[in-house]
Structure 1
Amino acid sequence: MTISAIAIWPAVSRPSTKNRIDSEPMVISSLRVEFIAKLHRVVVKSLYHMRTNRQSFSPRRFSDDPNPDDPLIGARLRYCLAQVEQRLGQALASAGFGDIQVAHFKVLRFPPPENERPIDLAQRAGMSKQAMNYLLLQLEELGYVERGAMGGSPARLVSLTERGWKVAEIQRATVHQIEREWERQIGAQRFQTFYAVLKELTDG
């Protein structure tokens, strides 16, 4: 319930003077107590959710896990990625590329597409060829990618246009900036260790 609803609740709930009955004080008091109790439960539940980052209040929650509220590494990496993507979107919009959407990062990502088959881009992004072709069509119409035949092959290969390379350069510069910010936040040595571990895990 919103603050405005809380503010007007007594006014909209009170009967008119003409229709009051002897039991009105008791009825209004009972309603107010019930309302306050419900409001208290909502507030407490919201604060608990904020404190624990829980996604569900179901009693069936990883009973064998000693710390069921821990999002674990996959979710934490996803949180980092979400921060990066948000910053990329802001940087691109500020540079005049506001038509780029987060979904387009499935194509506009490292390594940038250069004479790539759509099926290869789809596999790299973990999506169907049809879904990838839909994104490619959008980006082609916006002027960020182009498709053309190479070496007499009938397959149309995907590459960035000059406009697409400008986007890639902004993305890379923005990620470098984020890395510097994170390094200042946690300290140079810890960040270097963090980056080295990530590199070891992702390089196989």
Structure 2
Amino acid sequence: MRRSRRKQDEPDLGILSSRTLFGLQHELVETLAEQGHPRLRPRHGAVMAYLDEEGSRATDLAAQSGQHKQVIGTLVDELVELGYVERQPDPADRRAKLIVPTEKGRDHMVKSDAIIAAMEAEHASAVGEEAYAEFKRVFKLVAERQADAGRRK
């Protein structure tokens, strides 16, 4: 008789990835709220996590985050209303617009980077520096491979 596998006992890559993402997002958003950014939500990460300090085009943000351009447009509208970004003409192509962080947006970016670095340092301390470095190396390879597979379909 075959013994059934329970998902919670042996989670697959999708479950492990979602637990990691949702846990990270929850802690990040909660900590950012404590540090003066209470109105941002995890969905805003599709823009803020990929935004260059000098500005980014919406099409680039969509490609990097894996979101549709229309979703990015909606998120940018929300972030403009919240005061985190503004649209400016792209100096390289006046027909295009850049999404540029405001002072409030740059503060958010700096704090987010520091929070993520602290979270990573805690994980490295808990599992060991070498083990965590190897985990990140392998996880990056798996993520890149999965992204490539998704683009081929």
CA RMSD of aligned residues (A): 2.4
1:120 aligns with 2:85: no
2:32 maps to 1:87:
no
Percent identity for Structure 1 against Structure 2: 27
Shift of 1:114: 3.8
Match of 2:100 in 1: 159
- Unpaired runs of at least 5, structure 1: 1-63
Q: Secondary structure at the match of 1:153?
A: strand
User: Relative to 1, partners in 2 of residues 1:80 and 1:192: Cα closer, same or farther, differing over 3 Å?
Assistant: same
Offset of residue 143 of structure 1: 1.2
How many pairs are equivalent?
Answer: 141
Larger C-alpha radius of gyration, 1 or 2? 1
TM-score where L is the length of structure 1:
0.61
Tell me, what secondary structure is at the counterpart of 2:40?
Answer: coil
Give the structure 2 partner of residue 182 of structure 1.
Answer: 123
The verdict on how the C-alpha distance between 1:112 and 1:65 changes in structure 2, with shifts beyond 3 A counting, is: farther
Please give the alpha-carbon distance, in whole angstroms, between the structure 1 residues aligned to 2:12 and 2:3: 11
Can you give the 5+ residue segments of structure 2 that lack an aligned partner in the other structure? 146-153
What's 2:148 paired with? none
Distance 2:50 2:67 in 1: 16
For the 8 Å contact 1:112–1:168, the answer to whether it is kept is: no
Q: 1:71 to 1:112 in 2, by over 3 A?
A: farther
Alignment check: 8 A CA contact 1:91 1:170 kept? no
Does residue 195 of the first structure (1) align with residue 136 of the second (2)? yes
Residue type of the partner of 2:72?
Answer: M
TM value normalised by structure 2: 0.79
Q: Which of 122, 126, 148 pairs up with 2:88?
A: 148
